[in-house]
Amino acid sequence: MLRELIKTKLRQLYLEGGERVSRHLIRSIFSVVTFSVFAYLTYTVVRFATSYLITEAKIGLFLYHRLLALALFVFFVIVSVANILVAFATIFRNTETEYLHTLPIKPVEIFAAKFLDSFLYSSTLMLILILAAVAGYASFFGSGLIAALGIVLAILPLILSAACIGAIVLLLVLKFSKKVSVKTAVGIVALLYAGSAYSYISLNNPFRLFNDVMKYYPHIDRYLGVLDPKLDYFAPSFWSANFFYFATTGNVLGAAASVLIVGGTALILFLLMIRLAGKFYQEAFWTARHKLFERKVKDTGEMGESSARGNIKPVSLMKRDFLLFVREPSQTFHFVVLIVLIGIFLFNLFAMRIYLPDTFIISSAFTLIFAFNSFLIVSLAVRFVYPMLSLEGQSIWLVRSSPVKLKRVFYSKLLPSVVFSAVLGTLLGYAAPSPFRSFHGLISTSMVYGFVGGIIYPALVMIFGSAFVDYREKNPVRISSSHGATVSLLVSLGVVVILSSAVFNQTFEYFSSKGLLRPSMSAVWLTGTIALTSLLLSRFFGVKALQTDM
């Protein structure tokens, strides 16, 4: 039964981009090109960074692999959180899941099939990134075997563990949401995640570790496990990084032990998840459906069908979109979490002080903060702007049959997003230079780039949201985790790289000369042109998408 379910799911997944290539030829080619370029960039960046850290900065193999452990930990947490969101949309609130529950199938089999669905759906980008990164790592150390073994034995079990933890957390939240409210349960989980991430990162502060390791100079390639905080042993990412350390230094026994721990953890978590699903999934499914219906009952009469009637003007459309947004818990919850995280990040930026003597390193540090700011805006855009047009599918009949200009419908979606993101970009641009000495001279340039980026990213993401529009999918989380969303993320990250390069060049000049920095006119022209082109293209594709034959 489970085999049939999975076979049907895989067939459906395969055919999604399969035989109808002629219809989606441009999309497919574009996707392949984007994925390839991005994979190549990741490969190059990792290879360059590894080469720089080992041969130029000479930080030693141990510290390098501890930085790798930190990166893998961040990756682990991201995969786990992403899986909670996608798993909720896929395993609990999905029309197919509802259908499967009407058939005589064991709930645990439905859970297993939908877990696989959710896992494959949400991990494509992560897998590409990690494959390219491992290839970059292995090419520096000159061992394809380590890359192959690392991916299969250390990385895939790590991703599986993260996904299993996400699904277990979700099951427990729904299980206990009968006793405490969903908000409380989610709040506890958010605190647990934030607390463990904060503890791990504080305990593994790279600057402290750097000082500790350097006490052992010149024996810094040696395994200095005595420096590891004990908490690290509980993080599967730590053992994945250890595998790479031991494999690179030729310690077969150490590598094998690390693989056993990572693989064993994945297996235990998977079995635990299936066991918990066997116990709780049916109840949890009913709880999720009950909450959904409860909300529908509450909303009846306030919004109901009235949202689909009446005189359609841009303000009415914005109001409708706003109401639909705030009444969809997965949207508001995720939005609030991201905004709180941005708030914490801003607070830390204002509190942080960075003193670095080297011009190259200080410029890199500033550029990294700027790039991270841009990444935050891109994440918001992909999560919330990308699904906007697809979500119109539920009432596209109304839009198409009403006396309203389609470009107005489109503007009602794009403009609020652009305004919000431009304001956020400017604010983050204002905060980015504050950790640095003599930061005042940087502020105007940083704000200009932040503002322009804030216009570009939602417009760019909207282009892909239009080109890959899917009027049948109703779930915003699934839409924003789709293939097209991944492409939009990658292309936006490409623009982040371009803007960050411009910022790096200018900050390098600034920190070299200490003069007041003004944005260079050529960079302003370039970014302005990208912004304008993105806006025009997004309008073109957006209106086209609204005109698509249903």
> Burial code of 101-117, b = ≥16 C-beta within 10 A, e = fewer?
eeeeeebbbbbbbbbbb
- For residue 22, state whether it binds another protein (rule: CB under 8 A): no
The two tokens of residue 45 are 């960046």
Decide whether 24 or 407 has the Cβ nearer to another protein.
Answer: 24
The two tokens of residue 510 are 């600034």
Cβ at position 86, least distance to another protein in Å: 19
- For residue 95, state whether it binds another protein (rule: CB under 8 A): yes
Contacts to another protein from residues 257-286, by CB under 8 A? 282-283, 286
**Segment interacting with another protein, rule: CB under 8 A, options 43-51, 94-102, 365-373, 377-385:** 94-102
Cβ at position 112, least distance to another protein in Å: 15
As a whole number of angstroms, the distance between CA 146 and CA 155 comes to 12
- For residue 184, state whether it binds another protein (rule: CB under 8 A): no
Site string for another protein, 442-481 (x = CB under 8 A): ------------------------------x---------
Decide whether 106 or 279 has the Cβ nearer to another protein.
Answer: 106
**Contact partners, residue 48, CB within 8 Å, separation at least 6:** none
- For residue 550, state whether it binds another protein (rule: CB under 8 A): no
Interface with another protein (CB under 8 A), residue from 10, 54, 71, 106: 106
312 closest CA partner among 413, 393, 409: 409
436, β-bridge pairs: 354
Are 470 and 490 spatial neighbours (Cβ–Cβ below 8 Å)?
Answer: no
> Burial code of 226-249, b = ≥16 C-beta within 10 A, e = fewer?
ebbeeebeebbbbbbbbbbbbbbb
68 HSE (CA, 13 A, CB side): 28
As a whole number of angstroms, the distance between CA 118 and CA 186 comes to 20
Cβ at position 106, least distance to another protein in Å: 6
Q: Which helix (H) or strand (E) holds 44?
A: helix 25-51
Task: Give the three-class secondary structure for 472.
Answer: coil
Cβ at position 182, least distance to another protein in Å: 13
Interface with another protein (CB under 8 A), residue from 26, 252, 297, 521: 297
- For residue 1, state whether it binds another protein (rule: CB under 8 A): yes
As a whole number of angstroms, the distance between CA 18 and CA 12 comes to 9
Interface with another protein (CB under 8 A), residue from 293, 350, 360, 397: 293
**Segment interacting with another protein, rule: CB under 8 A, options 90-98, 209-217, 372-380, 435-443:** 90-98
Interface with another protein (CB under 8 A), residue from 30, 51, 96, 189: 96
> In this structure, is the dihedral angle defined by the CA atoms of residues 486, 487, 492 and 496, taken in order, positive or negative?
positive
Cβ at position 286, least distance to another protein in Å: 4
Amino acid 310 reads G
145 closest CA partner among 62, 243, 47, 214: 243
- Nearest-Å Rg of the Cα atoms of the chain is 24
Cβ at position 3, least distance to another protein in Å: 9
Length of the chain: 550
Decide whether 65 or 483 has the Cβ nearer to another protein.
Answer: 483
**Segment interacting with another protein, rule: CB under 8 A, options 38-46, 261-269, 292-300, 414-422:** 292-300
Binding residues with another protein: total (CB under 8 A): 31
- For residue 21, state whether it binds another protein (rule: CB under 8 A): no
Decide whether 98 or 358 has the Cβ nearer to another protein.
Answer: 98
Cβ at position 285, least distance to another protein in Å: 9
Interface with another protein (CB under 8 A), residue from 294, 299, 302, 358: 294
One-letter-per-residue 3-state SS of 63-105: HHHHHHHHHHHHHHHHHHHHHHHHHHHHHHCCHHHHHHCCCCC
- For residue 298, state whether it binds another protein (rule: CB under 8 A): yes
354, β-bridge pairs: 436
- For residue 37, state whether it binds another protein (rule: CB under 8 A): no
Decide whether 393 or 494 has the Cβ nearer to another protein.
Answer: 393
- For residue 300, state whether it binds another protein (rule: CB under 8 A): yes
Cβ atoms within 10 Å of 363's Cβ, excluding its own: 22
Cβ at position 104, least distance to another protein in Å: 4
- For residue 400, state whether it binds another protein (rule: CB under 8 A): no
Decide whether 292 or 423 has the Cβ nearer to another protein.
Answer: 292
Q: How many helices (H) and strands (E) does the chain have?
A: 21, 0
**Segment interacting with another protein, rule: CB under 8 A, options 13-21, 111-119, 267-275, 406-414:** 13-21
The two tokens of residue 472 are 């049948």
Interface with another protein (CB under 8 A), residue from 101, 400, 408, 474: 101
Cβ atoms within 10 Å of 283's Cβ, excluding its own: 14
Give the chain's largest Cα–Cα span: 76
Residue ranges in contact with another protein by CB under 8 A: 1, 4-5, 8, 11-12, 15-16, 18, 95-96, 98-99, 101-107, 282-283, 286, 289-290, 293-294, 297-298, 300, 472
